[in-house]
Structure 1
Amino acid sequence: MNLFHLKENSTTVKTEFTAGFTTFLTMMYIVPVNGFILADAGLPMDAVVTATALITILATLFSGLWANTPIAMSVGMGLNAYFSYGLVLGMKIPWQTALGIVFLSGLLFILLSFTNFRVWIMTSIPMNLRRAISAGIGTFIAFIGLKQMGMIKAHDVTLVTLGDFSDSHVLLGVVGLLLCFIFYAYKLKGAFVFSIAITSIIAWIFKISPVPHEFLSVPASISPIFLKLDILSAISLSLLPVIITFLITDMFDTLGTLTGIGARANMFQNGKEEDKSLQRTLEADAIATSAGSLLGVSTTTAFIESASGVEEGGRTGLTAVFTAMFFITTLFMLPIFKAIPANAIYPVLVVVGVLMFTELGKINFEEVDLATSAAAFLIVVLMPLTYSITNGIAAGFLIFTIIKLTKREFSDLNIGILTITLISLLVFILQG
């Protein structure tokens, strides 16, 4: 165990084992949830479940061994929803092309991980706009969750209205949502897993969904989605903004996650060794994204649920290795995952969306200027209304830059902001 420097990090194998199991318990939900989300885009759920489990195992294991940090990785919430509902269903892009977009964004991330670009982009974009992007993605996936549960539905006059709450499936979603909120409020480890399990049992008892006839099986083949990405179709000027969106969002997500976890575990500080760990974790994240697209899943990223393992004392890559080992069990759980009713899954999207939306509260709107307020508003509102993370970011950066130029506040603009603004302008030109 010298590889992980346990003694130097004041931890033990037992502590790392407990931390790894805790992380597994808190993020196990991603396997069935991602299966449901990508299945909506037309990918076969059986293959997606296996691919999600595989990329989680491989990426987390690689992160632990390469970076020696307790960071677990899997398919990112938010971008998987954008993949299915924004690109495939919204923009009518074939899922094979969407996988090509994920691959290219990951490839760019790999190349940029070996440069100072990550520092440049993070210092170029104001913190308040980064917070607005996180909040906007939160509203987007929460909106999707509510729609998929039937709690809201389309309306010819008002566009959106309340769903039919006399429907047993909708009521099941309400129960699942309440359980999600209550368990998370009590900081229960594995809150999402327990809410999904209890909601499923309720559905089986009241015959809202069929009871599973078996609980374990051999892993499903990933051949229907393995290496099915279409990279050539993704290399298009019209899709460049989408590739950049995946790149920037993944980068923000990862760096935000690592910053939060690092603050709790005293990692990723200014020392040379910690900076190397941060660099290697970013490299692992980037490589995992491209590898995941080859397996047939959307963007892979560092999971904030890794913080639960850190709270249990996990300090090294051994925590991640144990987490990866526990995820091997999910390869054999397909019958259970398929028996889970959809409205036991989609409440998770709403709660995750709420958690991401809280980033908006960190913006002091009494002190920020109109450019920031307008940009934040458009980012948060347009993402769910247009079913597009790209449109929200583009509109936000355009209004921010236009107001700053109009007021001649040139010092608040830099090459990073201007570059993203030009790409944002391209978004609307190409759509027009």
Structure 2
Amino acid sequence: MNFFRLKEHNTSISKEFYAGFTTFLTMLYIVPVNGFILSDAGLPLDAVITATALITILATLFSALWSNTPIAMSVGMGLNAYFSYGLVLGMKIPWETALGIVFLSGILFVLLSLTNFRIWIMTSIPMSLRRAISAGIGSFIAFIGLKQMGMIVSNEATLVTLGDFSNSNVLLGVLGLILSFSFYAYKLRGAFILSIAITSIVAWSFSLNTTPTDFFSVPSSISPIFLKLDILSALSLSLLPVIITFLITDMFDTLGTLTGVGTRANLFQENNKNDKSLQKTLEADAIATVGGSLLGVSTTTAFIESASGVEEGGRTGLTAVFTALLFITTLFMLPLFKSIPSNAIYPVLVVVGVLMFTELGKINFEETDLATSAAAFLIVILMPLTFSITNGIAAGFLIFTIIKLVKKEYKDLNIGILVITFISALAFIF
């Protein structure tokens, strides 16, 4: 185990295993949840579940061996919802083209992760706007979760209204939501998967969903989605803003996760010039996104749930290796995952959305100027209202730049902001 330098990191094999097992429990939910989300876009559920398990195993293992960090990776929440509900169902883009968009954003991320672009883009965009983007994505996926559960429905007069709470499936979703919030509030390991399990048992007990007759089977084939991406169709000027949206969001998500986890594990220290772990983890994340698009899933990213393993003492890539190996078991759980009712799944989107939305509270609106406040507001409000992360980001950066120009505050406009504003304009022009 000298490869992982356990003694140098003051850890042991047993401690790393326990940490890896904890990370596995906290992010196990992603396999069935991503399966349901991408299947709404028309991708075969069986194939997506297998592909999600595969990319989680491969990406986490690659990151562990390449960067020697306890960071687990899988299909990112938020962008998977945007993939299905924003692009495929909202913009009527074929899922094959959407996979091409993910591929191109991944290729750009790979190229840029080899340069200082990540530093440039992070210093170019004000922290308040970066937090607003996270909060906006949170409101977007929470809105989707509530809609899919039937807790809010369309209305001709008011656009949306409360759903039918006398419906047993809606009540099942309410139960799942209460359990998800409660378990997470008590910081239980595997809070999401535990809430999904209990909600599913209730549904099976009251015949609200088909009770599973088998729990395990051989992995389903991924041939219906493997290498089905349409890159040529994605190479369109009108889709450039969408590609950039995937790139920037993945980069922010990854850097935010690594910053949070790194603080707890004493990783990615800027004062240590010999520490290349951040660079290598970013590279692993980018390569995983490219690989995921080839397998047939949306953007892959570092998971904040890795923090649970770090809290249990995980400090090296051996933690992630154990997490990856444990995820092999999910390849054989297809019958169990397929029997989970959808309203046991979608409450997780709402809770994750709330957690992302809390970033908005870190913006001090009393001290921010009008440009920042207006941009943050439009980013957060337009993502759910237009069913598009791209529209929210585009509107935010456009109003930020316009107000700064009107007030002649040119010093606040750098090349990075102007480039993103130009791309944002393309989103509305095309």
Is the TM value for this pair above 0.5?
yes
Matched, 1:376 2:376: yes
Match of 1:308 in 2: 308
Matched, 1:8 2:8: yes
Structure 1 residue 275 displacement after superposition: 3.8
Match of 1:50 in 2: 50
Structural mapping, 1:115-134, within 5 Å: 115-134=115-134
Match of 1:208 in 2: 208
Q: How far, CA to CA, are the matches of 1:379 and 1:130 in structure 2?
A: 10
Q: How far, CA to CA, are the matches of 1:125 and 1:14 in structure 2?
A: 42
Gaps of 5+ in 2: none
Q: How far, CA to CA, are the matches of 1:97 and 1:51 in structure 2?
A: 18
Match of 1:394 in 2: 394
Once the two structures are superposed, residues 206-245 of structure 1 have per-residue CA deviations (whole angstroms, 9 ceiling, x without a partner) of: 1111110100000000000000000000000000000000
Match of 2:265 in 1: 265
Structure 1 residue 271 displacement after superposition: 3.9
Q: Which moved more, 1:352-361 or 1:263-272?
A: 263-272
Which amino acid counterpart does residue 27 of structure 1 have in structure 2? M
Once the two structures are superposed, residues 18-60 of structure 1 have per-residue CA deviations (whole angstroms, 9 ceiling, x without a partner) of: 0000000000000000000000000000000000000000000
Match of 2:199 in 1: 199
Q: How far, CA to CA, are the matches of 2:412 and 2:101 in structure 1?
A: 32
Corresponding residue pairs, total: 430
Contact kept in structure 2, 1:96 and 1:228, CA below 8 Å: yes
Q: How far, CA to CA, are the matches of 1:286 and 1:144 in structure 2?
A: 26
Match of 1:24 in 2: 24
Q: Which 4+ runs in 1 deviate beyond 3 A?
A: 271-275
Match of 2:291 in 1: 291
Once the two structures are superposed, residues 342-376 of structure 1 have per-residue CA deviations (whole angstroms, 9 ceiling, x without a partner) of: 00000000000000000000001000011010000
Tell me the secondary structure at the aligned position of residue 74 of structure 1.
strand
Tell me the secondary structure at the aligned position of residue 301 of structure 2.
strand
Q: How far, CA to CA, are the matches of 1:269 and 1:400 in structure 2?
A: 32
Once the two structures are superposed, residues 382-417 of structure 1 have per-residue CA deviations (whole angstroms, 9 ceiling, x without a partner) of: 000000000000000000000001001111110000
Q: How far, CA to CA, are the matches of 1:266 and 1:396 in structure 2?
A: 34
Tell me the secondary structure at the aligned position of residue 153 of structure 1.
strand
Match of 1:89 in 2: 89
Match of 2:250 in 1: 250
Contact kept in structure 2, 1:73 and 1:303, CA below 8 Å: yes
Structural mapping, 1:21-420, within 5 Å: 21-272=21-272, 275-420=275-420
Q: How far, CA to CA, are the matches of 1:370 and 1:272 in structure 2?
A: 38
Q: How far, CA to CA, are the matches of 1:135 and 1:120 in structure 2?
A: 22
Contact kept in structure 2, 1:35 and 1:52, CA below 8 Å: yes
Once the two structures are superposed, residues 152-209 of structure 1 have per-residue CA deviations (whole angstroms, 9 ceiling, x without a partner) of: 0000110000000000000000000000000000000100010000000000011111
Which amino acid counterpart does residue 95 of structure 2 have in structure 1? W
Q: How far, CA to CA, are the matches of 2:408 and 2:264 in structure 1?
A: 41
Gaps of 5+ in 1: none
Structure 1 pair 320–174 and aligned structure 2 pair: CA distance change class (3 A): same
Structure 1 pair 43–357 and aligned structure 2 pair: CA distance change class (3 A): same
Q: How far, CA to CA, are the matches of 2:26 and 2:226 in structure 1?
A: 27
Which amino acid counterpart does residue 395 of structure 1 have in structure 2? A
Which amino acid counterpart does residue 312 of structure 1 have in structure 2? E
Contact kept in structure 2, 1:267 and 1:274, CA below 8 Å: no
Q: How far, CA to CA, are the matches of 1:324 and 1:258 in structure 2?
A: 18
Tell me the secondary structure at the aligned position of residue 153 of structure 2.
strand
Once the two structures are superposed, residues 297-345 of structure 1 have per-residue CA deviations (whole angstroms, 9 ceiling, x without a partner) of: 0000000000000000000000000000000000000000000000000
Tell me the secondary structure at the aligned position of residue 276 of structure 2.
helix
Q: How far, CA to CA, are the matches of 2:26 and 2:247 in structure 1?
A: 26
Tell me the secondary structure at the aligned position of residue 42 of structure 1.
coil
Which amino acid counterpart does residue 281 of structure 1 have in structure 2? T
Q: How far, CA to CA, are the matches of 2:372 and 2:97 in structure 1?
A: 34
Contact kept in structure 2, 1:268 and 1:274, CA below 8 Å: no
Tell me the secondary structure at the aligned position of residue 298 of structure 1.
coil
Q: How far, CA to CA, are the matches of 2:209 and 2:200 in structure 1?
A: 8
Structure 1 residue 273 displacement after superposition: 5.8
Structure 1 residue 121 displacement after superposition: 0.2
Q: How far, CA to CA, are the matches of 1:199 and 1:123 in structure 2?
A: 44
Contact kept in structure 2, 1:124 and 1:417, CA below 8 Å: yes
Tell me the secondary structure at the aligned position of residue 314 of structure 1.
coil
Which amino acid counterpart does residue 147 of structure 1 have in structure 2? K
Structure 1 pair 304–322 and aligned structure 2 pair: CA distance change class (3 A): same
Contact kept in structure 2, 1:35 and 1:45, CA below 8 Å: yes
Structure 1 residue 274 displacement after superposition: 6.2
Which amino acid counterpart does residue 263 of structure 1 have in structure 2? T
Which amino acid counterpart does residue 8 of structure 1 have in structure 2? E
Structure 1 residue 272 displacement after superposition: 4.0
Structure 1 residue 270 displacement after superposition: 1.5
Contact kept in structure 2, 1:261 and 1:310, CA below 8 Å: yes
Q: How far, CA to CA, are the matches of 2:11 and 2:292 in structure 1?
A: 31
